[in-house]
Every structure is written in C-alpha cells, then in structure tokens.
Amino acid sequence: MSRDTTRPRRADARRNVDALLDAARAVFDTSGVDAPAKEITDLAGVGVGTLYRHFPQRADLVKAVVESGIDAVADAAGPLREAHEPPEALDLWIHRFAELLATKRGLASALHSGDPAFAGLPGYFTGRLRPILSELLIAAGVREDIDAEDVLHAITQLSQPVPGRGPEHGRRMVGVFIDGLRASP
Amino acid sequence: MSRDTTRPRRADARRNVDALLDAARAVFDTSGVDAPAKEITDLAGVGVGTLYRHFPQRADLVKAVVESGIDAVADAAGPLREAHEPPEALDLWIHRFAELLATKRGLASALHSGDPAFAGLPGYFTGRLRPILSELLIAAGVREDIDAEDVLHAITQLSQPVPGRGPEHGRRMVGVFIDGLRASP
Amino acid sequence: MSRDTTRPRRADARRNVDALLDAARAVFDTSGVDAPAKEITDLAGVGVGTLYRHFPQRADLVKAVVESGIDAVADAAGPLREAHEPPEALDLWIHRFAELLATKRGLASALHSGDPAFAGLPGYFTGRLRPILSELLIAAGVREDIDAEDVLHAITQLSQPVPGRGPEHGRRMVGVFIDGLRASP
Amino acid sequence: MSRDTTRPRRADARRNVDALLDAARAVFDTSGVDAPAKEITDLAGVGVGTLYRHFPQRADLVKAVVESGIDAVADAAGPLREAHEPPEALDLWIHRFAELLATKRGLASALHSGDPAFAGLPGYFTGRLRPILSELLIAAGVREDIDAEDVLHAITQLSQPVPGRGPEHGRRMVGVFIDGLRASP
DNA sequence: GATGAATGAGAATTCATTCAT
DNA sequence: AATGAATGAATTCTCATTCAT
C-alpha cells in the first residue's frame, strides 16, 4: 500500500540514505524546510556530495521525508471506516491528518510555497489524500458544496502551530471547521 | 483612529517613503517578506541607502506596511456595526479581515515566524484587533468556548492563498469556519 | 607665530566650525581619524553638509585639528632654549612633542598613512617642526649622522600608546632613544 | 620549534591555503590588514568562499600570516647566539626582528589595534618573543631598567616604514635605539 | 560511492559625498 | 549657510551546487 521508492542496493549507501532522511526530519522540524543543506549532512554524518547524489533536487529530499507521513495518514483511513460510523470516521481521520501537519513544521509552507524547488510535492499530497477524503466526506453526508481538496488545504493551514499558543489551539480550530462542514451551506 | 506614523517632513523624503511602502506592499505580495531589499528599492526607484535610512531594520518596513492594513481593518468595524445586525456585522468584518490577509502574502508568515526581526508585529496585530473581534463575537451571540485571538489566528491561516486555487478558495473556507462558530460547542 | 586659518565671518558659521573642531578632536581621540563623519557631526550637533562646507576634504579637518597642536609645540621651543642649556632644551622639547602625539591617537597613523586623504598634513608637520628640531639638535651637539626629520618620525612612532601599557611606556622609550642620540655613531 | 598549524590534507586544498597565505602576505604589505578580502582571493586566484572556508574569521588569516613570520624570527635567535658574542647577537637579532616588521606593513597596527578581531595575536607575539629577547638583553649586559616587552614594542614601532623615506630609515632608527639601550640609565 | 573543497552569485549593510530644500 | 535626504559603490559573508580526489 505504501511507497516503494527505489533504494540503493549497497548496504552503506542505504545506510546513508536512511541517515539523511532521519537528519532531514529532525532538521526540518527544528529549522524548517529552508534549512541549509550543510546542517542536514552534518547531523547525518555524511558529506554534502552524498546528499546530492541521492537527492539531486531539494524537493526530492522533502518529498521523501514527507511521503512516509502522508502514506501513514492515507493508510489510516481504512481501519477508521471499519471501526466507526461515517461521521465519526471523518472526524477522526481529519484530526489524524492534522496531527501530521502539526508536527511537520514547514511541510505546510513547502506545500503552498509555489517554489519550483518543491515541485511534485503538492501533486503527491493531493493525489494520495483527496480520493480518500472525498469518500469520507460523501459517506458522512456533509454539505456538498465544498470539495475535498479545499478541505485538505484548509486543514493543512489550520493545523499549523501558532507561536505562543499550545498544540491545543490547532486541534480546536480544526474542530470548529469540521462543525462548519456539518452546517448546511 | 488610524495610523499616524511619524513621517518625514521634507516633501521628497515623504515621497520616497511612500514609494518604498508601495513597492514593499507589491513585492511582499509577490515574493514574500523575505524578498531582497534590492527588489523593493528598484521598484520604488530609490537607492538602497534610502531604504535603510527610513527603515533601519527589516521589521520596521514590514511593520509599516502591515500596520496600515491592520488599521484599516480595525477602522472598518464601526461602520459595519452601525449598518448591520450583529451576526451579519461579524460575518462581514471577518471577511474584510480575511481579504487583507489574502492580499498580503507573507504577512501571515511574518506574524507567525517567531523571527525576532518581527518582534512587536504580533503584539500590534493582536492588540489592535482582538478587542474588536471580541465584541463582535459577543454581540453576534456565537459559541463562547472559542476566544477572539484564536479566531484571529485561524482566519489568518485560512485566508492564505493556495497556489493553484483562485481567491474564491480562501473566502469559502472562511465561510465554513464561520458556520462552525455558529454551531453549538 | 601661530596659525591664522581663515575663519568664516558670520557668527553662526564660526560657532559651527568651532563645534566641529571640538567634536573632531574628541572623536579622533576615541575612534581614530577614520571615524565616520556622521559621528563627528552628530556630536557637534550639526548637519553633515556643514562639515563638508567648511572642510571639503577630510584632510582639511584633520589638519585643522592637528595644526593647533603642532603650532603649540613649535612655539614651545623658544622659551625652552632661553631657560635651559641646549642638551636639556632638546630633551625637554622632544618630550613635549611626544606628549602631543601620545594624546592625539591616530595622528601618527594619519601622518604615515600615505593616504591621499591626508595630503598636506605631513608637509605642514615637517615644514613647521623640522627647522626647530634641527637647530636644537645642532645646539645640543649630538651625533650628526641622524637628520631632524628622521628624529621627528622616530619620536612620532615611539610615543604611540601601546594598549596594555601605561602612558609611562612611551615616555621611557623616548628617553632611551634620546640617549641613543647622544651616543657616538 | 616552528609553527605546525593543522593543514588540510588534500593536495589542492593545501595549495589553496598556501596561495591564500602568500596573497595575504603580499596584500597586507601593500594595502594593510584591512584590505578587502576580494583583493586577496583575486591575487590568490581563488574564490572568496575558499578564503572563508579556511579562515572563517579575518583574524585567523592575519594570525596565520603573522605567526610564521614571528616563528621565523624566534627561530633565528639560537644560531645567532652560537655564532656571535652576546652584544652582537642582540644587535643582529633586533635588526632581524625589525626587518620582519618593516616588511609586514599592518602587522604593527594589527598588534596594537585593540580590535577584538585580532585578540590573541599580541599574546602570541609577546609569548613567543619576550623570553628570547629577555635572555639576549641579559646576556648582552645592557641597562636593566628597560623590560624586554617594552623593547619589543619600541622596535615594532620604530621599524614601521615611513612613506617618503627609504627602508634605511627604520634600520638607522633602530640602531639609535639600540645605542640608547647600551647607555647607562 | 563518498567526501568535502571550491566556486561565485547573491544578500545585507555601511558610509563618503552630493545636492535639493 | 545649514540641513539632512539620497545615492550607490564597496565590503562582508553565506550557501547551493559542482567536481576533483
């Protein structure tokens, strides 16, 4: 069900790729997606050349870091639909999704930056999650004037942490938004 | 009631400051608040030195650009309350506010960046708008578990334009959120 | 005997020139002769334009500041020769001269910089002091293989304060040098 | 006995570092230690980035340039003492030292600038040379009221070239000073 | 395949000097 | 005459990306 990015076959190469991904995850959380490449390679204990070999474009790295998260969210939909009534399933899934965004500082801005450096990212994001959310929305019987992709973006934005307010903030705002989805147009 | 930033007295200086503010507004919209200073001065038809004379810190420029927008939104509240019923006034004001944010790309990120360069901006923003929104919310009789500052931030985020979706998008998402505010907790 | 720089006739202009000279003296002592012009005009409470009106070249200002000191040293020779035996007069005058240099931080480097910005300064300096020192040296009967201008420069250098050593340092080094002048070639 | 700064291991890197040091030496002589970095890198035929990689702080470069000179002077003492009588050894060593200073325009000012960018330089200078000079002074049996560090500074200053006078000038002034050291207090 | 050195295009900032008011 | 605004060249430093080892 999940991604199957081609990985290097040599053991040391694979090790480096993993180290880079781990480092990138950490650095993205700390300093955002615009962090200097050096910061990542230093943390990974690897030369910059190695980064560029495995991820020629900056977007490739971001994509790789992000995709696993997106996949996990996508995969969560099935179980939720089986275990809960549609309205509740929708609710839970959206919060699950929001949680991903909240912890990946910078993902949202990468998604919306329009920066060609991140080309491909929004496509993967939308392609993977829109169909799933679309079905959840229909099943839950909410208003039909709002399309799934719009909701995806809205939640992406609402779940961004605001400095000075706790993590609760995003959660509650998303809740209000879901209430709005249940209202009649 | 509106901004009254101390302006230079000499006519040419005032002209330059205005040109810089206009240019900054335009550039911020286009390239975000991190745009190179040169881009702004070129557009303003002014030397870089002039920018630094009037706005020694990057934040000073952003602040000046932003504050006029904030002030205009704040000032809009009075007339709206006089001309409309409370629920409608709330609705109109929030959209008015969202419109500001939508056209000022980067304002939202400056507000949330946590960057010390923009210290003071969030304070001005909140200080000016929270009291106004707070009254509007109470008058409109919406749910009371959501505080005005949270709404401010939520709208700020929702109104950000998403590349690939028209300006309609933000407007509609804000509409959904307002509907959510009207729902019972 | 002393300088007679043409001074402006209008009272306010004269006041400004004096303020600038005082400020320059202070700033040169503090930050050296390379200090930004603005620093001087701010201290003088005067616009930069005023500085450039009265001292079109940077050297003009330095010269003006310095010349009064040089003149005073030059003028000191006469009385010393009348009151003391030649060897002692030489000794006292050199120390008097060294004292000037020691308190005018940056004068020495301006003198030796070769920087065209200070054109004219060395000329005034040498023209005024060499003849005087020359006579003193001859009268004192010291070795004749060392010319007065060389001594001027040597004392200039030796009297420069060294960070971390007290003002005594310069005085003692100058003393050693004078002893050397008394030795046979 | 001499410097053993950790050098890069890669051949090209080492070549660049050497080129930079040579260029810096030349440029410092010509334009002083405040010369623009670009001037140095151009002369070295190297990108600016390379300079900053090897010498992140301006002081690092100055230090490297200076230390080799200091070390060479320090190392010269031994042979001189073996080959000459103490008074002559002192004489020769001081001139050797003066020669270093004379050709390294700007070294003296860096040493005395008090600029925090050059912190550490004076310490190295003094730490390395004072003990050596101290022994030479004692061995030569000169007056004992002048301490080695003072002599170090005095020679540093005296050996500075004066624009308009040949290199002879410094040499002769140093000679006079040494004669002064031989006089009785 | 890995490394990290080299490159150089930007970006920010300062300040001497000119000139409109 | 005084003022201080404007200019822009000059300088420092950073970092993405390439490429020799």
Supply B18's token pair: 């205005």
Q: Are residues D77 and D112 in the same domain?
A: yes
pLDDT digits (tens, 9 = 90+) for B130-140: 999 999 999 99
- Say whether pLDDT at D142 is over 50: yes
DSSP string for residues in D30-57 = HH-TT--HHHHHHHHT--HHHHHHH-SS
What is the chain B residue with the closest CA to A119? B163
Q: Are residues C13 and C78 in the same domain?
A: no
CA C182/CA C21 separation, integer angstroms: 39
Smallest Cβ distance to B180: which of A163, A164, A179? A179
Q: How many domains does chain C have?
A: 2
The answer to whether residue D25 is domain-embedded is yes
Nucleotide nearest to D47 (CA to C1'): E7
Q: Inter-chain contact A157–B153, Cβ cutoff 8 Å?
A: no
pLDDT at position B68: 83
CA A74/CA A54 separation, integer angstroms: 26
pLDDT digits (tens, 9 = 90+) for D39-83: 999 999 999 999 999 998 888 898 888 888 899 899 999 999 999
As a whole number, mean pLDDT of residues C63-85 equals 91
Between helices C168-182 and C86-103, what is the axis angle to 10°? 150
Q: Are residues D90 and D169 in the same domain?
A: yes
Q: Which chains touch B (3 or more CB pairs under 8 A)?
A: A
Domain that holds residue C177: 60-181
As a whole number, mean pLDDT of residues A108-116 equals 72
The answer to whether residue C3 is domain-embedded is no
Q: Which residue has the higher pLDDT, D115 or C22?
A: C22
Q: Considering only CB atoms, which chain B residues are within 8 Å of A163? A: 112, 114, 122
pLDDT digits (tens, 9 = 90+) for C79-129: 999 999 999 999 999 999 998 888 776 677 777 776 766 777 888 889 999
Of the candidates A115, A107, A39, which has an alpha carbon nearest to the alpha carbon of residue A70? A107
Q: How many degrees, rounded to 5, is the angle at CA D44 between CA D40 and CA D45?
A: 115
The answer to whether residue A2 is domain-embedded is no
Whether chain B lies against chain D with 3 or more Cβ pairs closer than 8 A is no
- The percentage of residues in chain D with a pLDDT greater than 70, rounded to a whole number, is 91
Q: Are residues A83 and A101 in the same domain?
A: yes
Q: Are residues D52 and D79 in the same domain?
A: no
Q: Which residues of C157-179 are buried (b: 16+ CB within 10 A; e: fewer)?
A: bbbbbbeeeeeebbebbbbbbbb
Name the pLDDT band for D106 (thresholds 50, 70, 90): low
As a whole number, mean pLDDT of residues B4-12 equals 62
Q: Which residue has the higher pLDDT, C73 or B114?
A: C73
Distance from CA of D158 to the nearest CA of C (A): 6
The answer to whether residue B1 is domain-embedded is no
- Say whether pLDDT at B103 is over 90: no
Q: Inter-chain contact C177–D180, Cβ cutoff 8 Å?
A: yes
- Strand F nucleotides below 7 A of a protein CB? 1-21
CA–C1' gap, D40 and F9, in angstroms = 19
Supply C70's token pair: 């040089």
Q: Inter-chain contact B153–A165, Cβ cutoff 8 Å?
A: yes
Q: Considering only CB atoms, which chain D residues are within 8 Å of C175? A: 180
What is the chain D residue with the closest CA to C166? D150
- Say whether pLDDT at D4 is over 70: no
Q: Inter-chain contact D150–C164, Cβ cutoff 8 Å?
A: no
CA dihedral A37, A42, A43, A47 (to 10 degrees): 80
**Considering D56, D79, D95, which residue would you say is the last residue of a domain?**
D56
Kindly state the DSSP code that residue A45 receives in the 8-state scheme: T
Q: Which amino acid is at A27?
A: V
pLDDT digits (tens, 9 = 90+) for D147-167: 999 999 999 999 988 878 888
CATH number where D25 lies: 1.10.10.60
Q: Considering only CB atoms, which chain A residues are within 8 Å of B150? A: 165, 169, 172-173
Smallest Cβ distance to C162: which of D112, D165, D177? D112
The answer to whether residue D34 is domain-embedded is yes
Q: Which residues of C37-67 are buried (b: 16+ CB within 10 A; e: fewer)?
A: eeebbebbebeeebbeebbeebbbbbbbbbb
pLDDT at position D104: 72
Q: Are residues D36 and D120 in the same domain?
A: no
- Say whether pLDDT at C174 is over 70: yes
Specify the 3-state DSSP secondary structure of A82: helix
Q: Considering only CB atoms, which chain A residues are within 8 Å of B34? A: none
CA–C1' gap, B160 and F12, in angstroms = 36
Q: Inter-chain contact B173–A154, Cβ cutoff 8 Å?
A: yes
Are D108 and D101 a contacting pair, CB within 8 Å? yes
pLDDT at position A31: 81
How far is Cα of residue B21 from the mean position of the Cα atoms in its chain?
A: 14
Spell out the residues 6+ positions from residue B65 whose beta carbon is closer than 8 angstroms to its own: B21, B24, B25, B28, B104
CA D131/CA D148 separation, integer angstroms: 8
**Mean pLDDT rounded to a whole number for chain B:** 87
- The percentage of residues in chain A with a pLDDT greater than 90, rounded to a whole number, is 59
Are D161 and D170 a contacting pair, CB within 8 Å? yes
Q: Considering only CB atoms, which chain C residues are within 8 Å of D150? A: 165, 169, 172-173
Q: Inter-chain contact C183–D183, Cβ cutoff 8 Å?
A: yes
pLDDT at position A1: 44
- Say whether pLDDT at A4 is over 50: no
Smallest Cβ distance to D169: which of C109, C150, C183? C150
Q: Inter-chain contact D153–C162, Cβ cutoff 8 Å?
A: yes
The answer to whether residue D52 is domain-embedded is yes
pLDDT digits (tens, 9 = 90+) for A141-180: 999 999 999 999 999 999 988 877 888 899 999 999 999 9
CA distances (Å), origin C2, targets C76, C130, C136: 11, 16, 20
The answer to whether residue D2 is domain-embedded is no
- Say whether pLDDT at C9 is over 70: no
Q: Are residues D51 and D68 in the same domain?
A: no
CA–C1' gap, D49 and F15, in angstroms = 10
pLDDT digits (tens, 9 = 90+) for A18-64: 999 999 999 988 887 788 999 999 999 999 999 999 999 888 898 88
pLDDT at position B13: 87
Q: Are residues B138 and B153 in the same domain?
A: yes
Taken in order A69, A73, A74, A78, is the CA torsion positive or negative? positive
Q: Are residues D69 and D97 in the same domain?
A: yes
- Say whether pLDDT at D123 is over 90: no
What is the chain A residue with the closest CA to B175? A180
**Considering B56, B71, B90, which residue would you say is the last residue of a domain?**
B56
Q: Which of A78-87, B118-127, B163-172 has the highest mean pLDDT?
A: A78-87
pLDDT at position D9: 59
Q: Are residues A106 and A169 in the same domain?
A: yes
Q: Please give the backbone phi and psi of residue B67, each rounded to the nearest 5 degrees, phi first.
A: -60, -35
pLDDT digits (tens, 9 = 90+) for C119-172: 778 888 899 999 999 999 999 999 999 999 999 999 999 998 887 788 889 999
Specify the 3-state DSSP secondary structure of D109: helix
Q: Are residues D147 and D125 in the same domain?
A: yes
CA B95/CA B86 separation, integer angstroms: 14
Q: Inter-chain contact B179–A178, Cβ cutoff 8 Å?
A: no
HEC sequence for chain B: CCCCCCCCCCHHHHHHHHHHHHHHHHHHHHHCCCCCHHHHHHHHCCCHHHHHHHCCCHHHHHHHHHHHHHHHHHHHHHHHHHHCCHHHHHHHHHHHHHHHHHHCCCHHHHHHCCCHHHCCHHHHHHHHHHHHHHHHHHHHCCCCCCCHHHHHHHHHHHCCCCCCCCCHHHHHHHHHHHHHHHCCC
Nucleotide nearest to B15 (CA to C1'): F5
Name the pLDDT band for D114 (thresholds 50, 70, 90): low
pLDDT at position D163: 77
Q: Which residue has the higher pLDDT, C11 or D70?
A: D70
pLDDT at position D82: 95
**Mean pLDDT rounded to a whole number for chain C:** 87
CATH number where D65 lies: 1.10.357.10
B132 CB burial (10 A radius; 0-12, 13-18, 19+): buried
Q: Are residues C67 and C108 in the same domain?
A: yes
pLDDT at position D3: 40
- Say whether pLDDT at D11 is over 60: yes
- Say whether pLDDT at B100 is over 70: yes
What is the chain C residue with the closest CA to D161? C112
Q: Considering only CB atoms, which chain A residues are within 8 Å of B157? A: 157-158, 160
The answer to whether residue D110 is domain-embedded is yes
Q: Which amino acid is at D173?
A: M
Name the pLDDT band for C8 (thresholds 50, 70, 90): low
Supply C147's token pair: 């010319």
pTM for this predicted structure: 0.78
Smallest Cβ distance to C163: which of D112, D162, D164? D112
